[in-house]
Amino acid sequence: MATSPKLDARVPKGEIDQKWSKYRSTVHLVNPANKRSLEVIIVGSGLAGASAAASLAEMGYKVKVFCFQDSPRRAHSIAAQGGINAAKNYQNDGDSVYRLFYDTIKGGDYRAREGNVHRLAEVSGAIIDQCVAQGVPFAREYGGVLSNRSFGGTQVQRTFYAAGQTGQQLLLGAYSALQRQVGMGAVKLYARHEMLDVVNIDGKCRGIIARDLITGKLERHFGHAVLIASGGYGNVFYLSTNAMGSNVTAAWKAHKKGAFFGNPCYTQIHPTCIPVSGDHQSKLTLMSESLRNDGRIWVPKKAGDTRKPNEIPEEERDYYLERRYPAFGNLVPRDVASRAAKERCDAGFGVGASKLAVYLDFSANMMRYGQIEANKQNIHNPTKEKIRELGMAVVKEKYGNLFDMYKQITGEDPYEIPMRIYPAVHYTMGGLWVDYNLMTTVPGLYALGEANFSDHGANRLGASALMQGLADGYFVIPYTIGDYLSEEIRTKAIATDHEAFVKAEAEVQERINKLMTIKGTKSVDHFHKQLGKIMWDKCGMARNTAGLKQAIEEIKKLREEFWKDVRVTGEANEFNPELEKAGRVADFLELGELMCMDALNRNESCGGHFREEYQTEEGEAKRDDDNFAYVAAWENKGNNAWELHKEELIFENIKIAARSYK
């Protein structure tokens, strides 16, 4: 298979461990005086956007940052719980840059680009140093060194964490660095602004159209380059662990203006979420993967067992992950753990009222920790109760906020009875296609963080999203953007009365007017829920040809109905969350179709993309490397038509093999 001529990944030549260092030494630079007249727009203030903004401003570029929340601190990154990976090998347990590279490629089911992933592993250690220098309070061992835990798909402990609030602490670090630049006037911040289009002039991206969400006014902004760091699109499923505001709009507008969309069907379903409890829900809650360090997953051995979990004796429990995957046990990657949970529930072994749940049980490790504590404290012959009490304190220290959250939502005390968990939509590996420079197929338009497709292949390993977002922002884009901007030093700022800006703004205005004038009978949420159901049922954890074909037809119909019958309350020239939602759902209604098309095209199973027709006898994903070892990059042809381009994935450093965690 040959790579499409429209896709040039621009991965530097040379040995894998030399590519990035050689690139950095030879990439074109922009001198400090010229940086001051180059303007960069960043859409997004999560970990990817904030870190990029702080870094580029520190380097001397003029930066504008946009976010739709009232403060960059509310970006969805704040929700990240479990941790961030880095190949520091503090545990002396065999970690290395190569091993992180290998785990990530294998974890992604051999559907990621080697050059990018190796670079990610190389810069991972520097991220931790940077964050520590900013004051991020990572957990530490008694002696003061940074502590680590394990995440799925690895056999080493390389995950750095700050209790169950790692994203929040990292974001506060990036936000502080950003605010420093805002204070110095190097970054201009546009909170409560939503980017609604990109503006291309003579084949290059030159700015955006944004809506001031308080006044409803449309604004034009010029930039020599535009960076999209707008996060993931899991909310296309309506129910997900994402913040309710997370959406695809910025990436989708970029896509419609020429940026190819990579691997849209790769969705991560996280195995440990609080199960759906009814139709009233608008959001699902993650129970961090870090819990699988100490929580053991099981279901009763007897189908339909109605006993309470604590009444089921040890020998009547099926620790199915430990049984099926002894080498990785409860820490198999997310796609594998999710499918295994679904398999048990589908076979009738599910627990709880809905029977769509499995147990995550801490009792054994609570006792183990308790015994260690008793030894440490010289308590001889402690009672069982004492051991439990001591162990509970250790578990509380590690995961207290997650346990509290679970209790608040379910009303059950996970210190006393096992948590009930079930898989839920969590992360999107797909996103805007980018080359090694993180540039999309539109010159001057970049994508960072979860908004791009890179690095995670068909399945992201836990704690690798924060790593990738911060790698992109702190350590990659500061170099790669120079490659482009060094050619732009003679380009003066383009006035925003240029016809391309006028036209783009008029189109945005027209769409808003259209949404406001339909005055139909059904709420935006009605359409979003319908779409989510189609996506979950037919393009969720399991997919098949007939279902995907049906889904495409159903989405087309739903989209038509939306544009005839949606009711958007309020006015356009005021703060109007309903209008914001309507625009986002309209974009989801287009994206959903593309996701199904991509899933239908990929006649294999890999990572988060499980096609029922392609599985082994044991129910594992069956790849087809001969025909599908490529990135699917979709070009928008207008009117909901797309053309597929392929980037061949070449594995020169890792032997492509069947993925096994046994």
Ligand X SMILES: Cc1cc2nc3c(=O)[nH]c(=O)nc-3n(C[C@H](O)[C@H](O)[C@H](O)COP(=O)(O)OP(=O)(O)OC[C@H]3O[C@@H](n4cnc5c(N)ncnc54)[C@H](O)[C@@H]3O)c2cc1C
Find the shortest distance in angstroms from Cβ 237 to ligand X: 12
Name the closest residue to ligand X (Cβ): 46
| E strand segments, 278-418 | 296-300, 317-318, 358-361
CB 381 to ligand X: min, Å:
40
Q: Which is nearer to ligand X, 84 or 434 (CB)?
A: 84
3-state helix, strand, coil in the chain (%, to 5): 40, 15, 40
Pick between residue 402 and residue 542 the one whose CB is nearest to ligand X. 402
Angle at 51 between CA 45 and CA 54, to 5 degrees: 95
Only one residue has tokens 């007939």, namely 546
74 or 538: CB nearest ligand X: 74
Asked if 645 and 7 touch (Cβ cutoff 8 Å), the reply is yes
**Distance of alpha carbon 257 from alpha carbon 253, whole angstroms:** 6
Q: Which is nearer to ligand X, 84 or 531 (CB)?
A: 84
Q: Which CB, 182 or 351, lies closer to ligand X?
A: 182
Across the chain, how many H-helices and E-strands are there? 18, 19
**Tokens representing 550?**
């049906």
Shorter beta-carbon distance to ligand X: residue 170 or 552: 170
Structure tokens at 560: 């038509």
Helix axes 166-184, 47-59, angle to 10 degrees: 30
What CA–CA distance (Å, rounded) separates 357 from 371? 30
For ligand X, the closer of residues 178 and 534 by Cβ is: 178
Which residue among the candidates 206, 317, 334, 344 is catalytic per the annotation? 334
| Residues 271 and 423: beta-carbon distance below 8 Å | yes
Cβ-Cβ contacts under 8 Å for 625 (sequence gap 6 or more): 110, 656
56 vs 79, beta carbon nearer ligand X: 79
Cα distances (Å, whole numbers) of residue 124 to 146, 293, 458: 15, 22, 21
Is residue 158 within 8 Å of 138, Cβ to Cβ?
Answer: no
Question: Closest distance between ligand X and the C-beta of residue 193, in Å?
Answer: 6
CB nearer to ligand X: pick between 16 and 284: 284
Minimum separation from the CB atom of position 90 to ligand X (A)? 18
Pairing of strands 419-428, 358-361: antiparallel
Task: Point out which residues bind ligand X (CB under 6 A).
Answer: 43-49, 66-69, 75-77, 79-84, 166-167, 193-195, 229-232, 241-242, 246-247, 249-250, 286, 426-427, 449-451, 463-466, 469
Angle formed at CA 314 by CA 311 and CA 320, multiple of 5 degrees: 110
Task: Please tell me the number of Cα atoms within 13 Å of 194 on its side-chain side.
Answer: 25
**Whole-number minimum distance, CB 651 to ligand X, in Å?**
24
Task: Name every residue whose Cβ is closer than 8 Å to that of residue 129 and which is 6 or more positions away in sequence.
Answer: none
Q: How far apart are CA 218 and CA 210, in angstroms?
A: 6
Place of tokens 């884009």: 477
- Shortest Å distance, C-beta 46 to ligand X: 2
- Exposed, middle or buried by CB within 10 Å (0-12, 13-18, 19+), for 163? buried
Do 161 and 139 form a contact (C-beta atoms < 8 A)?
A: yes
Of 540, 539, 81, 458, the C-alpha closest to 286 is 81
Is 50 in contact with 178 (CB distance < 8 Å)? yes
- In this structure, are residues 72 and 45 in contact, taking their beta carbons and an 8 Å threshold? yes
Smallest separation, CB 293 to ligand X (Å): 13
Q: Each residue of 453-476: b (16+ CB within 10 Å) or e?
A: bbbbbbbbbbbbbbbbbbbbbbbb
Q: For residue 101, give both structure tokens.
A: 């590279």
Q: Cβ 103 to ligand X, closest distance in Å?
A: 14
Contact indicator for 270, 427 with CB cutoff of 8 Å: yes
What is d(CA 415, CA 388) in angstroms, rounded to the nearest whole number?
10
The contacts of residue 559 (CB under 8 Å, 6+ apart) are: 586, 589, 590, 593, 640
Output 374 or 429, the one with its CB closest to ligand X: 429
- Tell me if residue 192 is catalytic: no
- To ligand X, the closest distance from the beta carbon of 167 in angstroms equals 5
Nearer to ligand X by C-beta: 194 or 620?
194
Q: How far is the CB of 424 from ligand X (least distance, A)?
A: 10
Of 5, 422, 60, 465, nearest to 232 by C-alpha is 465
Asked if residues 99 and 118 have their Cβ atoms less than 8 Å apart, the reply is no
Least Å from the CB of residue 97 to ligand X: 18
Nearer to ligand X, 40 or 195 (CB): 195
Containing 56, the helix (H) or strand (E) segment is helix 47-59
What's the token pair of residue 443? 């010159």
Closest contact distance (angstroms) between CB of 79 and ligand X is 4
Query: Could you list the active site residues?
Result: 334
